[in-house]
Structure 1
Amino acid sequence: MELSTSLGTPHDIDLPGGRIRYYDTGSGAPIVFVHGLLVNANLWRKMVPSIAAAGYRCLSPDWPLGAHSIPMPDADLTATGIADLIAAFLERLDLTDVTIVANDTGGAITQVLLSRNRTRIGRVVLASVDCYDRYLPPPFTILPPVARIPGSLRPVTEMLRLRALQKTPLVLGWVAKHPVPHDIIDSYLLPSRESAAIRADLRRFLKTANRGYTLAAAEHFKEFDLPILLAWARDDKLFPIRYAQRLADELPNATLRFIEDSYTASPEDQPELLTELILEFTRMHAAP
């Protein structure tokens, strides 16, 4: 399934453990986007055109988190493995002074990345993300034990056909405050429904998703001296603002800004506001 044309030109790239697809548009300082669980690069479709027009190269990969199109049966799909995959992507494309923009589960993986390899990263935007003991957050804590049951994900993905179920807290009800178009929801949910190989990747990721990764990353926060913007949805139900405030206290060079009228998926709910915050932040912390 091809994603929104606003993301730019699709490319496939070989990385350790397999191949991923990414979308590339614009020129200038690179911004690499890291989406969360069961979404893909379409999450950024409303933001990329404005950010690219402001003079940035926008790279939007489909990370192997259950809505990707290319299976990765040989990849390490733990949080550590995907963090290393991001580092390999930056190295393979020889990207430097990168701005990482992460949302939801992608923020947990980005924290793991920063604890392991920050050499090519200049600044980071964490937009309502898993952290500390919220990886995964309730009610999604049910998914790892379900994923450990062989064959369990197939009926789950089939149930997600129901539009009414998609509005519940277990799907999008606590993720997006405002309606997400049906074709976009399908782009997120169809890959795991239609491909046994993608479901197998999703299962491998979910089986290992636990707070140990984010708690271990938090032990390194005092070492994260690069600028970090915490762009937090004030109404977030999955990651209450006390988590944002704790991050702001413990990260040495963090700035906390709130986004109104949004849940976790601020790229869906308030893309213009998040875009403004990103552009203001990158200009303020541009490389000399």
Structure 2
Amino acid sequence: MSQATGHLPRWTDIDWSEHVHDIRVLDRSVRYVDYGSGPPFLLVHGLGGSWQTWLENIPALAGAGHRVVAVDLPGFGGSDVLAPGATFDAHSATLLALIDALALPPVIVVGHSMGGLATIRLALGAPERVAGLVLACAGGIALSERRLALIVRGFQAFNGLFSPAALRAVARRPRLRRLVFRLGLYDTAGLSGQLAREIVPLMATPGFSDALVAGAHAAADSGADRLEGPTLLVWGANDRILPVAQAEALAASLPDARLMVLERCGHCPMFERPAGFNSALVGFASELEAAPRAASSSRG
């Protein structure tokens, strides 16, 4: 059952080495963190991300009575890269293989940005494994070819400019963080120095370019408009990469969708507005848990 507990540890107080694992699926090593117990969430980061993207969220979701699995997609964080020429669907196949390997019951899948596109493909391909879908400023929403091309060029420039050493410097210096992330974040103060030191250096990753190109091709026909299961869209009102208007249009077109818009928030609501983001996810989980009970009562 989703319910808040009295005291939640800060992510900085947790020894994450006890919860990080590597597992072999589809002939490659995949890294994930596994924390808490109860009905599961599966958290899927975006381009340049890693499981650490969710550090502000994992303790809160676990404290509300959930098992939380956060994965490094192939080519990101501690996971092996994909084979040359792999299509974007290899990411959703990896997610399904991980769900199978961990013997997870139907899971609430949360995808941010590019990870949202992977979770859309998962939900369409294996709907029986997905209890609910959360799209957080997610790729795969309808965009014009021009806007998609601009996004791709912007990320290509980012990847070309920043070496691991440069990103470590960005993580340490607030002025550089403001310069580098002013497009993605409403207020770069939302990315604390502690969190930046965990996630920013990992943005220099061997899977970045291939995932960007494959994701751009896949985004042209994501299938988002064919989603039928329970879906929550969580969006920053000030997202300058994927505007909230597109999220509003998608939510209105789906048969079982709801939209949560977080004010004063850009493209990364999970750490720009963690309290509101966590509350939205816990509330969605509670709604899903209540639905079978209501159906059972109506039959009785």
Tell me whether the two structures share a fold, i.e. TM-score over 0.5: yes
1:143 CA drift (Å)? 5.4
Q: CA deviation at 1:74?
A: 3.5
1:262 is the counterpart of 2:265: yes
Seen in structure 2, the aligned counterparts of structure 1 residues 54 and 225 have a Cα distance that, compared at 3 Å, is: same
Deviation at 1:174, TM superposition (A): 2.3
Show the counterpart of 1:51. 61
* 2-structure distance, mates of 1:60, 1:75: 25
Contact residue 21 and residue 33 of structure 2 kept, 8 A: yes
Q: Comparing 126-135 with 116-125, which one deviates more in the overlay?
A: 126-135
Return the TM-score normalized by structure 1. 0.82
Distance of 1:165 and 1:138 partners within structure 2: 26
Matched with 2:296 is none
Could you tell me how far 1:6 is from its partner in structure 2?
A: 7.0
2:104 aligned counterpart, secondary structure:
coil
Q: How many angstroms apart in 2 are the aligned matches of 1:76 and 1:17?
A: 16
Is it true that 1:185 corresponds to 2:190 in the alignment? no
- 2:49 aligned partner: 39
Instruction: Please say if 1:216 is aligned against 2:221.
Output: yes
Write the distance in 1 (CA, Å) between the matches of 2:127 and 2:237. Answer: 29
- Written as runs of structure 1 = structure 2, the 5 A alignment for 1:92-241 is 92-130=101-139, 131-133=141-143, 140-142=151-153, 153=160, 156-157=162-163, 159-160=166-167, 161-162=169-170, 163=173, 164-168=175-179, 171-178=180-187, 179=189, 180-191=191-202, 193=204, 198-199=205-206, 201-210=207-216, 212-218=217-223, 221-222=225-226, 224-241=227-244
Q: Is the 2:75–2:81 Cα contact (8 Å) retained in structure 1?
A: no
RMSD, aligned α-carbons: 2.8
Matched residue type, 1:208 = A
Q: TM-score, normalised by structure 2?
A: 0.79
Secondary structure (helix, strand or coil) at the match of 1:285 reads helix
Q: Distance in 2 between matches of 1:25 and 1:250?
A: 35
Q: Distance in 2 between matches of 1:183 and 1:122?
A: 33
Could you tell me which residue of structure 1 aligns to residue 25 of structure 2?
A: 15
Cα shift readout 1:139-164 (whole Å, capped 9, x = no counterpart): 542157669xxxx84x5325544444
Q: Which consecutive unaligned segments of at least 5 residues does structure 2 have?
A: 1-10, 293-300
In structure 1, runs of 5+ residues without a counterpart are none
Q: Does 250-259 or 126-135 show the bigger shift?
A: 126-135
Higher helix share: 2
Paired with 2:136 and 2:63, the residues of 1 have a C-alpha distance of 21
The structure whose Rg is larger is: 2
Deviations 1:41-64 (A, max 9, x none): 122111211211111111111223
Q: Per the alignment, do residues 138 and 207 of structure 1 end up closer, same or farther by CA in structure 2, a change over 3 Å counting?
A: closer
2:38 to 21, 28, 35: 28
- Check whether the contact 2:232–2:258 (CA below 8 A) recurs between aligned residues: yes
SS at match of 1:238: coil
| 1:105 Cα deviation from its structure 2 partner | 1.5
Q: Which amino acid aligns with 2:22?
A: D
Residue type of the alignment partner of 2:212: L
- Quote the offset at 1:35 in angstroms: 0.9
Give SS of 2:199's match. helix
Identity %: 22
Distance in 2 between the 1:260 and 1:172 partners? 18
From the superposition, tell whether residues 63 and 266 of structure 1 become closer, same or farther in structure 2 (CA, over 3 Å): same
In the comparison of the two structures, how many residue pairs are matched?
270
Does the CA contact (< 8 Å) of 1:230 and 1:244 recur in 2?
yes
In structure 1, what residue type is equivalent to 2:94? L
